[in-house]
Structure formats: structure tokens, C-alpha cells
Amino acid sequence: MRWIWIDRFTAFEPGRSATATKCLSHAEDHFAEHFPGFPVMPACLIIEGLAQTGGILVGEANQFREKVVLAKIPAAKFHREVPAGETLTYTATVVDLRDEGAVVRGTATCGGNPVCEVDIFFAHLDRNRAQQTFGDHNFVFTGEMQHLLGMARLAAAKTTPQLPPAPPADQT
């Protein structure tokens, strides 16, 4: 199952902040249920998107050696609902970064209007215990997350993904 709730990084300052966007398509399954006739982005998925933005920011700070897991949301405030068809902008800023984990301040906006503010507490899974359970493989930053990481690096380098060149026109 896909569990990626951001579409693209637009800015990335290693160890400090990251900004990502999420386009809300009516075609996403959850809008059928949340809510019938009134499709708005579930608050928990906004937090997940912010946590993914912040989690990659925290993971990158240690070159993805740590298994970064969402441990706690000490506080979250929501200002408005966001309907399908809009685009959310997620910004994560590092408040504290240590060996044991990190604290990130996340804000979501839509069209410049505040949507959500949240404090996110990440823990680095204890290296000894995590290795006994999961081995050396870093199960957090894998698969589709790797693709997002590539986009984060592009954003950090302030370059934008380029489309491949157009094929030559038919010579008929």
C-alpha cells in the first residue's frame, strides 16, 4: 500500500527546514468517506504529511543512518478545513535535534492561509534494540520514500526536476 502523503519538496535546508506540497485530488479514496458530499482532507493525514516532511528533514540530518519514528504529537491546532482540489503546503522547522531524537514544528497552509500548526516529536529507535528486531536494514527510509528523498535533494540544490526532451516530430 502507498503511504506517501506529500507530492514534492519545494525547499530543503538540511538540518533546518523543509517545505513540501500535497495536491488534493478528488480521486483519492479517502475523500469518498470523509465526507460523502463534503470532501475535506482528514486532519490526521495532514499531520502525517507534516510528519513525513519533518521526518525526512530529521533523517537527512544524520544521513539516514537513524531509524526515525514518529513518537508523539504534544500539540496540534487546526484552523480550517481544506477541500479536495486544493494544494497544501507543508513546512517543517527543526526545534531540537539530538542523538536520541528531534522536535519539529510543522505548519500547513493553503493559499497562504493557515491550516494546521503542530509540534512533532521524533525518536531515533534505540540502535541496539532496533537492530535486534529489524536488523541493519533501515525500514523507515526505503521504497517510495527513496524517491521523495531524491526530490528533497533536488530542492536542497535549488534545482527543479526537468522533463525529458520531447521526441522528434514525425517526418511524414
Partner 1 sequence: MTQDEVFEKVKTILTESLGADDDAVTPQARLVGDLNAESIDFLDIMFRLEREFGLPKIDRNELFPESIFQGDPKFVQNGLVTADGLAELRTKMPYADIEGFAKNPQFDKIGDLFTVDLITRFVHSKLKK
| d(C-alpha 89, C-alpha 57), whole Å | 15
CB of 18 or CB of 103, closer to partner 1: 103
Sheet holding 101-110, edge to edge: 8-13, 17-23, 87-97, 101-110, 113-124, 68-78
Of residues 106, 132, 123, 122, the one with CA closest to residue 43: 106
Which residues on adjacent β-strands are paired with residue 172?
A: none
All residues at 6 or more sequence positions from 154 whose CB lies less than 8 Å from its CB, including other chains: 9, 160, 161
Closer by beta carbon to partner 1, 4 or else 123: 123
Task: Find the shortest distance in angstroms from Cβ 98 to partner 1.
Answer: 7
- Quick note: the x/- pattern for partner 1 over 136-165, rule CB under 8 A, is ------------------------------
Find out whether 76 and 49 touch, Cβ atoms under 8 Å. no
Instruction: Kindly name the residue from 26, 30, 34, 147 that is annotated as catalytic.
Output: 34
> By C-beta, is 2 or 98 nearer to partner 1?
98
How far apart are alpha carbons 24 and 49 in whole angstroms? Answer: 12
Q: How far is the CB of 71 from partner 1 (least distance, A)?
A: 5
11 makes contact with partner 1 (CB under 8 A): no
34 part of the active site: yes
Q: Identify which of 76, 67, 28, 29 has the alpha carbon closest to the alpha carbon of residue 48.
A: 76
Determine the residue type at 149.
L
Nearer to partner 1, 81 or 119 (CB): 119
Binding mask 19-58 for partner 1 (x = CB under 8 A): ----------------------------------------
50-109 residues in contact with partner 1 (CB under 8 A) are: 71-72, 74-75, 95-96, 98, 100-101, 103
Residues that bind partner 1 (CB under 8 A): 71-72, 74-75, 95-96, 98, 100-101, 103, 121, 123
| Enzyme catalytic residues | 34
